[in-house]
Amino acid sequence: MNNTHQKLPNFTQAITQLIAQPSISSSQASWDQSNESVITLLATWFETLGFTITIQAVPMVKGKFNLLAKLGSGDGGLLLAGHSDTVPFDENRWLSDPLKVTDNDNKLFGLGSCDMKGFFAFILQVCQQIDLKLLKKPLYILATADEETTMAGARFFANSGVIKPDVAIIGEPTNLVPVIMHKGHMSHKISIKGQAGHSSKPASGVNAIEIMYQVISELFKLREKLNLSYKNEAFDVQTPTMNLGAIRGGDNANRICGHCELDIDMRSLPGMKDEELVSWLSIALQPIAEKYPGRLTINELDPSSPSFQQAPDSDFVSTAEKLSGHSCCAVNYATEAPFIQQLGCQTIVLGPGSIDQAHQPNEYLAHSEISKTEILLTKLIHHYCL
């Protein structure tokens, strides 16, 4: 190991430094933070290793940046991608400081340890152990912004089309199992504008809760129709899903409710288009909208994230299965994979840690993941770049 590498942190030091840089993404402005300090840290490390660094501000979101590190020349190669942000946390539910790595019970506890700052610490460690001068194809490292909310970073990068690797790996926590399919995700707010009034004179007002009751009835019918019409046995939840997540309305028992809101999310199967789901939602609620003109509106809460599918018979999938020792699978949650796939590369989701720890208090990465992840990443870089 040369002197240049000695300036760089080892795995535990790297994950500790990354977690110490807060980079929360949230739709609530009071929680939302810039990811610039994480991006700057990654840039410093990979520049030391000889990578060419490009940092871009992500449009439409304040203080958010993507980083692309490139080493090697020519076409194709391997892209290792992940997001630099984390979800918010409830400090009262953590047994340790979320922004400090706590090593206990053969686990490294910390916010983002598996979802997914740890992935970048692994990449750094592996790159220090490989003779990068021998690269025959380029190695790319992408750190995106705002994955936990809008996926703005991945959307922006996909549209820029600056690279076209042969293959890409999104390092979300999958227990190192190659994920080749996942559902899409969209969320909407349904609003009912009623007419407030005194409860003793029901006819003098329009009760928004009563209209919302009719809306919910139609949503249940739509959900049942989707469950009967669409199924994919690769998923443990084999049908599309619709969740009624939050409802708000009214202010007092003796007042006619003047306004009611319902937040829902829908998760589509591969092959279903987002615009189809939105159309079905609109059609289902059209009779109520016509019955109460001007009182029902449907608005998108966050930009939708499409479903993802990589052909199971592709060379990349068979290679990932062989090198990881795991058969490919499908998952119910959404990732940046469909956006990275737009670069024109074969794409899978594969990373250390369990999704069961993601977004949870006392998030951790088990010690048992460390050597397995380093070995697998080394094999993948050798296979696609050396």
H or E segment to which residue 375 belongs: helix 368-385
pLDDT digits (tens, 9 = 90+) for 102-138: 999 999 999 999 999 999 999 999 999 999 999 999 9
What is d(CA 227, CA 219) in angstroms, rounded to the nearest whole number? 12
In the predicted structure, residue 4 carries a pLDDT above the cut 80: no
Which one of 147, 166, 172, 363 is the catalytic residue?
147
What is d(CA 224, CA 374) in angstroms, rounded to the nearest whole number? 45
Q: Please report which confidence band the pLDDT of residue 194 belongs to, taking 50, 70 and 90 as the band edges.
A: very high
Task: Kindly report, as residue ranges, where domains of CATH 3.30.70.360 are found in the chain.
Answer: 185-305
How many angstroms separate the Cα of 326 from the Cα of each of 181, 228, 346, 366? 15, 32, 18, 19
Tell me what the mean pLDDT of segment 362-375 comes to.
Answer: 98
Active site residue 265: no
Place of tokens 């079905």: 280
Contacts of residue 144, defined as CB under 8 A and 6 or more positions apart, other chains included, come to 66, 81, 82, 83, 84, 151, 153, 154, 157, 336
What is the dihedral angle through the alpha carbons of 91, 83, 265, 304, rounded to the nearest 10 degrees?
150
pLDDT digits (tens, 9 = 90+) for 294-303: 999 999 998 9
Record the tokens describing residue 279, joined without a space. Answer: 């159309």
Give me the pLDDT at residue 5, please.
60
What is d(CA 195, CA 186) in angstroms, rounded to the nearest whole number? 30
Question: Quick check: 179 and 349 in contact, CB under 8 A?
Answer: yes
CATH architecture of 185-305: 2-Layer Sandwich (3.30)
Task: Kindly report, as residue ranges, where domains of CATH 3.40.630.10 are found in the chain.
Answer: 3-182+307-385
Give me the pLDDT at residue 2, please.
45
What is d(CA 382, CA 78) in angstroms, rounded to the nearest whole number? 10
Ordered DSSP codes for 245-275: EEEEE-S-TTEE--EEEEEEEEEPPTT--HH
pLDDT over 90 percentage in the chain: 96
Question: Quick check: 94 and 362 in contact, CB under 8 A?
Answer: yes
H or E segment to which residue 36 belongs: helix 36-48
Give me the pLDDT at residue 301, please.
94
For residue 264, give the nearest of 190, 210, 184, 359 by alpha carbon. Answer: 190
Strands in 185-193's sheet, in edge-to-edge order, are 241-249, 259-267, 185-193, 296-305
SS3 213: helix
Give me the pLDDT at residue 7, please.
86
For residue 350, give the nearest of 367, 363, 369 by alpha carbon. Answer: 369
Residues facing 68 on adjacent strands: 54, 142
What is d(CA 353, CA 368) in angstroms, rounded to the nearest whole number? 9
What is d(CA 251, CA 126) in angstroms, rounded to the nearest whole number? 58
pLDDT digits (tens, 9 = 90+) for 88-100: 999 999 999 999 9
Largest CA-CA distance found in the chain, in angstroms, rounded: 83
**Burial of residue 221, with CB atoms counted within 10 A of its CB: 0-12 exposed, 13-18 middle, 19 or more buried:** exposed
In the predicted structure, residue 239 carries a pLDDT above the cut 90: yes
Could you tell me which CATH class the domain 3-182+307-385 is placed in?
alpha beta
Which one of 32, 85, 166, 336 is the catalytic residue?
85
Give me the pLDDT at residue 133, please.
93
In the predicted structure, residue 6 carries a pLDDT above the cut 70: no
Tell me what the mean pLDDT of segment 205-212 comes to.
Answer: 98
Give me the pLDDT at residue 339, please.
97
Active site residue 147: yes
Record the tokens describing residue 317, joined without a space. Answer: 């999938």
In the predicted structure, residue 221 carries a pLDDT above the cut 70: yes
Strands in 364-366's sheet, in edge-to-edge order, are 102-104, 107-109, 364-366
Average pLDDT, the chain: 96
Q: Name the phi and psi angles at 155, rounded to 5.
A: -60, -45
